[in-house]
Structure formats: C-alpha cells, structure tokens
Structure 1
Amino acid sequence: MALKDLMELIRAPAVLTVLGDAIAGATAAHGRVGRSGIAASASSAGFYAAGMALNDFADADLDRIERPERPIPSGRVSSGKALGVATALTAGGLAAASSAGPRALRIARPLAACVWFYDLIGKKTALGPLSMAACRGLDVIMGAAENGWRSAVLPAGAIAGHTLTVTQVSRGEVHGTSRVAAVSAAVMAIGAASAAVVRGARSGRRGGTVGSVIGGAAFLASVLPAFVRAARDPSADNARDATRRGIRGMVPLQAAFAASHGSPGGAVFLAVIDGAGRVIGARRKQGDVT
C-alpha cells in the first residue's frame, strides 16, 4: 500500500481535528495538558484514523457506486488491508491510552467499541449520529480521566452536541440534507460557542475570557456560514461543505474550551493545528474529510 493511499484512507488531515478533544478534557481537569493529556491525544488520533479506515471497509460496496475515487473502490487498497489498518490503529490507540493511565484506558475501551459499532452497525441506523456523538464525548472525557472526568462534562457535552448535528447533516452528502438538520447544526454551534465563552467568563481570568471569546468567534465564523447555506439550499454540495467545515471547525471550539480552563498554551497549540489543517485542506485536490 502506497503511503499516499494510506493517508487518503485514514483522512490524515482530518486526524488533526481530533487531537484537541483530549486537550479540552485535560485542561478542564487541571488547567494544563500534561503527560496524560498528550498520550490521550495520541490515542484519539489512533481511534479516529482507525474509524476512517473502517468506514471505507464497511462502505466499500456503496462507494463503488457513489464514491468510486476512494482507495478501496478504485483498487488502490484492498478491503482486507483497510480492515488490517483499522485493527492496528485501534490497538495503537489502546496502547497510547494505557500510557496515559489506567483511568484513561477504562474510557478508551468503550470508546474503541463505539467507533467500531458506528462504522459497522450504527451508521446505517437511527443510532448513527448518537453513536458518533458518543465517540467524541468519550474522547474528551478520556483526556480528563486521570484527573477527574466530571470536570470535563461541559466541553464533552458541547463537542458531542456539535458532532451529533454535523453527523445528521453529513447523511445528506450524496442526496442532499434537510433544512431542519442544517438549522439544528447552526443552533447547536451557537450553543457550544456560548458554553465555552460563559465558562471562560466564570473562570475569573482575563486570559480565559478573551481566549474563549476568540476561539468561540473563530469557531462560529468557520461553521455558521456553511450551515446557513445548507439551510437555504440543502443540496448535496452544500451538505458536504457544511460537514467539512463542521469537522474542521471543531479545533477552534476545542481551543475555546482550553482557554476557558486557563490553558493559553493549549489554546495556542490548537490554533496552530487549525492553521495547519486549513493549509493542508486548501491544497488537497481530491478526496474528502467527511
């Protein structure tokens, strides 16, 4: 398997959008990222990449009709190799979680199961958006697990809620979405950004307030226009664009929560990640991050 094909299979640029889940959780727990937060972020990346490979394995027959350019239907990657990649990356994610600590590993196990459930079963049912949201919520909780997961309930809920509505929009990438799904995504985005800003204001730190406002504003600027366009015209093209922006917009939302919990370093790191993701996304000629 060529490296280029592997990177397309796992949607490598999109993996950047998941690193901040654990950072948002870790900073909520004790105001900094720490060693366990870094290890949890690595675990998140492994699970996300595994989920992308597993997605293409599960959708191989459908993609031959709807997305023949993808690695499996185009013949560049076999279904067996895609499943092997997903299995290896899941194992890597569990190993990284183990290095974060025993509590993180306890969250990582159901998280890994949730990823596999979504791709193999849940995606094609009414449970699809809920199971995807659960994956992202657990991802945030994993980052906080070693230092008290309850402190991360707010960012976990906001990120999970945003994921839920974006996943609903993504179901219309081929045949068009619905206005209700697009409007719901816009309303949820406003709510998620507001939660981060309110948390920053309550922190009592000027930096937390300013950082959360900047991150929240960047998040809304990234996602709201696409959701509004999809609400006005719920075509497949607009659904795909809203989904891409909804996924990439996760990073400034994560940064807003990191800042709100007193971690300017975490917020700046995520801002750099966001910038790198935008540059990579602008240069991509084919494939998608959805």
Structure 2
Amino acid sequence: MDGPAVPTSPQPAQGSGSQSAAWAELLRLPALFTVPGDVLAGSASASGRPGPRTLWAIGSSLCLYEAGMVLNDWADRAEDAAERPHRPLPSGRVRPAAALTAVCALTIAGLALAARSGRPALTVAVPLAATVWAYDLGLKRTPAGPAAMAAARALDLLLGAAATSGHVRSALPSAALLGTHTLALTAVSRHETQGGAPLTPLAALATTGVLTRLVSRGRTLAKGKLPGAKGQLISFRSGVLAALPAACAAAYAATAARPYLHATLNPSPPLTQRAVGGGIRATIPLQAALCARSGAPVSALITAALAPLAARFAKRVSVT
C-alpha cells in the first residue's frame, strides 16, 4: 500500500520544522487522494451501491495505506540518513519510536474498521495488512517487490468489493488491471535514485497503452423500443456510460504516458522520478475509469474529482 518512493520536489510546506508539518510529510498526506478510488472501483466492480460499509472500508484503506507510508520510512531510516537526510526520521523531526507506534496504531485501526465493514472485508484486510508489512520490511528490496506492491493495490480494490457486496469474484478483473498498473509503476520506481535502462519505463509506457484500451469501454443500456421521454432518458444514460470510461481512460493515458516516454528517451534520475510521480497521479483517473466501465458514473466522477485536489495539496507537501 505504500506508494513507490519518489523524491519529487514540490516546495516544502511552510513551517516544515514543526511537528505537524513533519508528520504531514511522513504521512505523505496528498497521496491519500489516490486511496478512496480503490474501494469505490471495487464496489462498482461488484455491482454494488456504495453504502455505510463502503465508507468503513475506505477508512480502513486509508489507515492501512498510511501505515505503509510510515513503515516505509521507518524501515529505510538508515538509508535515508545517507541519501535523503531531510526526511522526517533522519532529520530528527519525528522519533523512530513514535513512527513505529503510529504504524501499529494505524494497522490496528485499519483492521478494526474493516471488521466494522463485515467479515468478508476483514478477510481481505488481513492479507492486505500482511502484504503492506512484508513489502516494507523486506520484499521491496527483492525481485518480488513490484509484485507485492501490485498485490497490495489489488487487495485494496477487493476490499471495496467485499465490504459492499460480500464477494470479490466479479471484481477480480478490475483488481488485475489496477495491479498491472502498479506493477509497472513500482518497477520504474526502483531506478529513481540512480536512473537505469530505458526498457523499464518503455515497458510501463506499453502497459499504459494496453490498460487505456482495456478500460476505455463501458457498459451500455439497451434502448429497446421505449417511446418518448423514458426512451430518451435511457438513451442519454447509455451515451454517458459509454463516453465516461473513454474520457477517464484518456485522462489516465495523458497523465502517465508523457513522463514514461521522457524517462524512456533519457532514463536519468530526475526524469525517472517524474515518471514515477506521473504514474502515481495517473492512479486516480485509472480508478475513475474502472468505476465508469463497471457502470458507476457517480463513483467515477467522485473519484476523478480527487485528482485536482491531490495536485493542489501536492504543491505544499510531497506526495512521496
């Protein structure tokens, strides 16, 4: 659940020496806008309407995501002391013991909220939390790292399906698509510090193209032979449901493809970091496209609306 570490460089928040600013940086608060869409896409894929249990699941997802963010920095504090000494832990603005305490509290809260969503949601949340911890404490430094990150995102989507409808089978295709995006993004992020070969961002670019095509088609409603206003309303709804996935997919491609292309042409650390930042931001329109293709235009629009909010807050606090 922890986002790929990419030291993009928005301007530091004012008062960055304060405890609140340090925790905002450690928690990467703007990155939270990439989380609710997982659950909403899962709910939409399960053909369920979001309800109170869906909201509990979103709370669970947010807590587990933040647990992963803080645990990532706690596990990397020695490495960050050499490469990123300005980060909250190596700079001493947040104590390691306090960070680890926050990780445990967030994990417990996430599981408790999942339990509040029902037993099916808790059944998904437990392996999700285990994947978060396993990734941050070891798997991210192994070849299995990208797959573990992809599994975490996929499980987060399935959490929404389990909470809303009690089953996850119908949400598996959407989980696979979101996981594939995350796999490609995480593979690129492994080269952000020192740069790398162009094949990795090229593969991510190709993946973006394939995913764009797959998520650009949504459900349509049969018009039948209904006369008058009712037939026109169904026709209008059918047109919206058909057009919205393509619009969201186009936004996804526009956000991710260009920085991936730049990193392919010049896989330097700065351009690789921008590629990872673009991939993270592209998660939101991808989630919106997944909602739209499942026939949930309201969830798609709510998710899409998070993108400009994330961009606005990222100017003050780094998303990674």
TM-score range for the pair, normalised by the shorter chain length: over 0.9
Partner Cα distance (2:66, 2:126) in 1: 16
Q: Does 1:2 align with 2:35?
A: no
Which runs of 5 or more residues in structure 2 are unaligned?
1-17, 223-237
What does 1:73-112 align with in structure 2 at a 5 Å threshold? 73-112=90-129
Deviation, structure 1 residue 201: 4.7
Aligned counterpart, 1:49: 66
SS in 1 for 2:274: helix
Aligned counterpart, 1:266: 299
Partner Cα distance (2:173, 2:127) in 1: 20
Aligned counterpart, 1:248: 281
Deviation, structure 1 residue 206: 2.6
Q: Does 1:279 align with 2:298?
A: no
Deviation, structure 1 residue 203: 6.8
Deviation per CA, 1:72-92, whole angstroms, max 9, x where unpaired? 011101111111111111111
Deviation per CA, 1:122-176, whole angstroms, max 9, x where unpaired? 0111111010000000001111014221111121111100101100111111101
Larger Rg: 2
Partner Cα distance (1:13, 1:44) in 2: 15
Aligned counterpart, 2:228: none
The TM-score normalised by the length of structure 1 is: 0.95
SS in 2 for 1:72: coil
Deviation per CA, 1:174-203, whole angstroms, max 9, x where unpaired? 1013311101111111222222123x1567
Q: Does 1:222 align with 2:239?
A: no
Aligned counterpart, 1:27: 44
Compared with structure 1, are the counterparts of its residues 3 and 234 closer, same or farther at alpha carbon in structure 2 (3 Å cutoff)? same
What does 1:109-128 align with in structure 2 at a 5 Å threshold? 109-128=126-145
Deviation, structure 1 residue 32: 2.8
Aligned counterpart, 1:152: 171
SS in 1 for 2:216: helix
What residue identity is the alignment partner of 1:233?
N
Q: Does 1:212 align with 2:231?
A: no
SS in 2 for 1:44: helix
For the aligned residue pairs, the C-alpha RMSD in angstroms reads 1.5
The TM-score normalised by the length of structure 2 is: 0.86
Partner Cα distance (1:233, 1:202) in 2: 42
Deviation per CA, 1:24-57, whole angstroms, max 9, x where unpaired? 0001112532222222121111111110100000
SS in 1 for 2:307: helix
Partner Cα distance (1:206, 1:183) in 2: 34
Kept in 1, the 8 Å contact 2:220–2:239? The answer is no
Partner Cα distance (1:105, 1:54) in 2: 21
Aligned counterpart, 2:14: none
Partner Cα distance (1:166, 1:93) in 2: 25
Partner Cα distance (2:38, 2:245) in 1: 15
Identity, % of aligned positions: 39
What residue identity is the alignment partner of 1:256?
A
Aligned counterpart, 2:210: 191
Deviation, structure 1 residue 236: 0.7
Kept in 2, the 8 Å contact 1:203–1:260? The answer is no
Aligned counterpart, 1:172: 191
Deviation per CA, 1:60-116, whole angstroms, max 9, x where unpaired? 000011111100011101111111111111111111111211101000000000000
What residue identity is the alignment partner of 2:153?
R
Which runs of 5 or more residues in structure 1 are unaligned?
none
Partner Cα distance (1:195, 1:203) in 2: 19
Aligned counterpart, 2:319: 289
Partner Cα distance (1:115, 1:251) in 2: 20
Aligned counterpart, 1:181: 200
